[in-house]
Amino acid sequence: MKIKTFNTGIWEKTINLRDFVTKNITPYHGTYDFLEGPSEKTLKLWDICKQGTKEERQRNGVHSVDTDIVSGINAFQAGYIDRENEVIVGLQTDALLKRSMKPFGGFKVVEKALSEHGLKPNNQLSELFTKYVKSHNDGVFDAYTDEIRKFRSLGFLTGLPDNYARGRIIGDYRRIALYGVTRLIEAKKQDLANIAGPMSDNVIRLREEVSEQIKALKEIVGMGKSYGLDLSRPAENAQEAVQWTYMSYLAAVKEQDGAAMSLGNVSSFLDIFIQRDLEDGIITEVEAQEYIDQFVMKLRMVRHLRMEAYDEIFAGDPTWVTEAIGGMLEDGRTKVTKTSFRFLNTLYNLGASPEPNITILWSENLPQNFKNYCAKVSIDTSSIQFENDDLMRSKRGSDDYGIACCVSFQELGKSIQFFGARTNLAKTLLLALNGGRCEFTGTQMIDGIPVYTDEYLDFDKVMDNFRIAMKEVARVYNDSMNIIHYMHDKYYYEKAQMALIDTNPSINIAYGIAGLSIVADSLSAIKHAKVKPIRNEEGLTVDFQIEGEFPKYGNDDDRVDFLASNAVAEFNNELKKLPVYKDAEPTMSVLTITSNVSYGKKTGATPDGRAQGVPFAPGANPMHGRDCNGAIASLNSVSKINYDDSKDGISNTFSIVPKSLGSDEEEQIENLATTLDGYFSRNAQHLNVNVLNKEMLLDAMENPDEYPQLTIRVSGYAVNFVRLTKEQQLEVITRSFHESM
């Protein structure tokens, strides 16, 4: 029975998590001294998980797969790691690390992924999905134009979610714990009743969607029952609050295999229940930590069935269970609670890990003790990333948000986003130099660009042509996105997640670009040095000769940094002109995930002197080795990209050797926290921090078994270093590691 009641508010009348959190949160300003180690039960479970992941690595990355059942919210019987030690239960299938088929994104992809491990789906399913059931992937390719296919196959548009689930949508996984499913169904039924005619496409679609959501909610109750949990009612204590929240997330990852499926910002919500139970003397700190450790452990065990080609763009089998921690409330109080610390503490209790993808919402006004603890965790584990809460809160107008995928703001329960992968901006620049033709095949991609025959490249002429190229690429990109999201809604609608979001939420479409530093340096070379294109018999540029010096992006030099920020602004402006499916607001990111390696391969020589095939820098990073004025100059260059032009995020990955941060732990912590304060005070948006020695990475390449949990940050997420391909490992190692000695 409830002992203490929560503070009242409008959250009691309407579904409003923000109001509940704001009214009931207990901000924490103290140190980490109160934290506890892992419980015996937790350690026992984790040993089993470690054994399981070891077997997984030995079996070429996939432990096992169920080839008979199509995954769904309630498709599998209850699964356990070791039932008697689990205080938080639930697995995606009936066994640890067993993956499942989610064929609605694309059946061919499932077949391919299975065949790569010597498996195939059961015959009935094959017949069903080849003859009778249509997938998202089928729908998209029915509608794709020849032009889109050409842009896709020649590498101008890459990683599009047209043969895998789009992800990025964050359900408000706190809702069931606070309200119970019954109440949520009532609210959705009321919404449905209010969606009335005239029956336009939009109204019909929304009525169907809300009906689907109600079905999903009912299925969630069914899934809970299979574990003996009554999710129809609100959680009554801390353990239930964690359990209910996990069940909500579990429903999402059983139904969907989106590229990135973030968790949101559950920690300080859960803290309200934990704090109440602690105050009432019902639980101890050891138990509070045990709930969080076991919850996080479950999140670490989330798996999706992927084909090998997927690894090129999203290396290391990531799931992006991104949890945003910290930040400030609009009333000036901090959202940091003891449970913010508990989540971070799990990185010590269970060891470093890429998942969940912990993102610290950094504000100048965060409690100093929390800043220092985050810096310490970052130095010790290289597992967390940082984003600018002051910037996003003020520019996006909400203090209740999560991070979708790697770096993207998403107001929880109120808005969603459509994932847009990215276009290759460096190849777009090459179109401008090749009369609109592909630099490799000579295929005419776009019209309207004059054939360039001058001996030396002229900056103004190049810019004119580059603008035409950007406009045309934006047009094709937008076409593809509209088709993809139309079909995804139609064939693989995220009913479980959308059931936990307000009906008819606002939407932004998340476009992206890769190759920004290449474009900036290329334009700088053309402007400040003399660049002579070398053309083959077909008139295509195959190389460039550069005479003279030119400023390079990453050295805090405005002459080139503004070329970078202008390119971002101009391409974003082109995208903004184009109408989007469901009236989504266009936004753009500068983010590459690990695809900077494969994009490099697919891009010819560029005017900055980069040879054909050489990997791009990740995200908005300066090119490897070209930022030679030290770490801060490099950070300053990236911070000049205006967030207003790239509201979906600007990813920067910063790698530094421990000694360069300071000579002892205290100094290192202080200097990292100060660096973050400095970087974000310049309105920068995101920073991945790796505090590592190159030698350790080289050793891990040689002796992977000794480093099973070695985690490093790549563009916007983290991976187990030993799960990267050799090529990706080398790329990480050649990146600029800032050393000040």
Partner 1 sequence: MHSIESFGTHDGPGIRWVVFLQGCKLKCLYCHNPDTIETSGGTEYDIEELVQMALKMKPYFGKKGGVTVSGGEPLLQAKEIIPFFKRLKEEGIHTNIDTNGRILNSFSKELLDDYADLVMLDIKHMTEEGYLALTGVSCKETTFNFAAYREASGKAMWLRYVLIPGITNQPELLHAMGKYFKDYQTIEKIEIQPYHKLGVHKWEALGWDYQLKEARENTPEELIAASDILKNYFKKVKIN
Residue number, 213 or 675, with CB nearest to partner 1: 675
Segment lying near partner 1 (by CB under 8 A), choices 338-346, 515-523, 664-672, 716-724: 664-672
Q: Distance of alpha carbon 678 from its chain centroid, rounded?
A: 25
Bridge partners, residue 719, by sequence: 712
DSSP one-letter string for 279-332: HTTSS-HHHHHHHHHHHHHHHHT------TTHHHHSTT-----EEEEE-B-TTS
- Minimum gap (Å) between residue 549 Cβ and partner 1: 15
Give, rounded to a whole angstrom, the gap between the first and last alpha carbons of the chain: 61
Residue number, 585 or 667, with CB nearest to partner 1: 667
User: Does 664 contact partner 1 by CB under 8 A?
Assistant: yes
Please pick, among 49, 374, 406, 438, the residue that the annotation labels catalytic: 406
| Contact between 722 and 707 (Cβ < 8 Å) | yes
Indicate if 374 belongs to the active site.
no
Sign of CA dihedral 231, 255, 419, 514: positive
User: Does 64 contact partner 1 by CB under 8 A?
Assistant: no
Q: Is the peptide bond before 198 cis (omega within 30 degrees of 0)?
A: yes
Residue number, 219 or 556, with CB nearest to partner 1: 556
- Minimum gap (Å) between residue 660 Cβ and partner 1: 6
Of residues 665 through 724, those in contact with partner 1 by CB under 8 A are 667, 670-671, 673-675, 677-679, 681-682
What mask, x for binding partner 1 by CB under 8 A, covers residues 498 to 537?
Answer: ----------------------------------------
The token pair that represents 517 in the structure block: 């530093």
Residue number, 506 or 660, with CB nearest to partner 1: 660
Residue number, 115 or 663, with CB nearest to partner 1: 663
Indicate if 628 belongs to the active site.
no
| Contact between 176 and 230 (Cβ < 8 Å) | no
Distance CA 50, CA 44 (A): 10
- Minimum gap (Å) between residue 432 Cβ and partner 1: 32
Helix (H) and strand (E) counts for the chain? 26, 20
- Minimum gap (Å) between residue 91 Cβ and partner 1: 45
- Minimum gap (Å) between residue 640 Cβ and partner 1: 11
What mask, x for binding partner 1 by CB under 8 A, covers residues 89 to 118?
Answer: ------------------------------
Residue number, 257 or 561, with CB nearest to partner 1: 561
User: Does 369 contact partner 1 by CB under 8 A?
Assistant: no
Distance CA 471, CA 588 (A): 15
| Contact between 489 and 507 (Cβ < 8 Å) | no
Looking at residue 623, what DSSP letter applies?
A: P
Residue number, 415 or 621, with CB nearest to partner 1: 621
Of residues 389 through 408, those in contact with partner 1 by CB under 8 A are none
Distance CA 247, CA 223 (A): 8
Cα 402–403–409 angle (5° rounding)? 90
Q: Say what angle helices 267-279 and 338-349 make with each other, to 10 degrees.
A: 100
- Minimum gap (Å) between residue 674 Cβ and partner 1: 4
Q: What is the SS3 assignment for 91? A: coil
Of residues 544 through 563, those in contact with partner 1 by CB under 8 A are 556
Secondary element (H or E) of residue 369:
helix 368-381
In the block, which residue shows the tokens 């630099």? 439
What mask, x for binding partner 1 by CB under 8 A, covers residues 454 to 493?
Answer: ----------------------------------------
Query: Do β-strands 530-535 and 541-547 pair in parallel, antiparallel, or remain unpaired?
Result: antiparallel
Distance CA 269, CA 251 (A): 19
User: Does 196 contact partner 1 by CB under 8 A?
Assistant: no
- Minimum gap (Å) between residue 659 Cβ and partner 1: 8
- Minimum gap (Å) between residue 672 Cβ and partner 1: 10
Residue number, 473 or 661, with CB nearest to partner 1: 661
In the block, which residue shows the tokens 């729908």? 139
Residue number, 351 or 678, with CB nearest to partner 1: 678
Q: Which residues contact 157 (CB under 8 A, 6 or more apart)?
A: 148, 151, 421, 422, 423, 424, 473, 476, 477, 480
Number of residues in contact with partner 1 under rule CB under 8 A: 26
In the block, which residue shows the tokens 């990355």? 61
Please pick, among 49, 405, 438, 628, the residue that the annotation labels catalytic: 405
User: Does 662 contact partner 1 by CB under 8 A?
Assistant: yes
Q: Where are the beta strands (DSSP E) in 151-194?
A: 157-158
Q: Across the chain, which distance is largest between two alpha carbons, in Å?
A: 82
Distance CA 6, CA 459 (A): 64
Distance CA 474, CA 360 (A): 32
DSSP one-letter string for 489-539: HHHS--HHHHTTS-SS-EEEEEEEEE-HHHHHHHHHHHHHSEEEEEE-TTS
- Minimum gap (Å) between residue 633 Cβ and partner 1: 5
Of residues 597 through 656, those in contact with partner 1 by CB under 8 A are 629-633, 636
User: Does 738 contact partner 1 by CB under 8 A?
Assistant: yes
Segment lying near partner 1 (by CB under 8 A), choices 174-182, 461-469, 529-537, 659-667: 659-667
Residue number, 339 or 688, with CB nearest to partner 1: 688
- Minimum gap (Å) between residue 658 Cβ and partner 1: 10
Catalytic site positions: 405-406
Give the binding site for partner 1 (CB under 8 A): 556, 629-633, 636, 660-664, 667, 670-671, 673-675, 677-679, 681-682, 738, 740-741
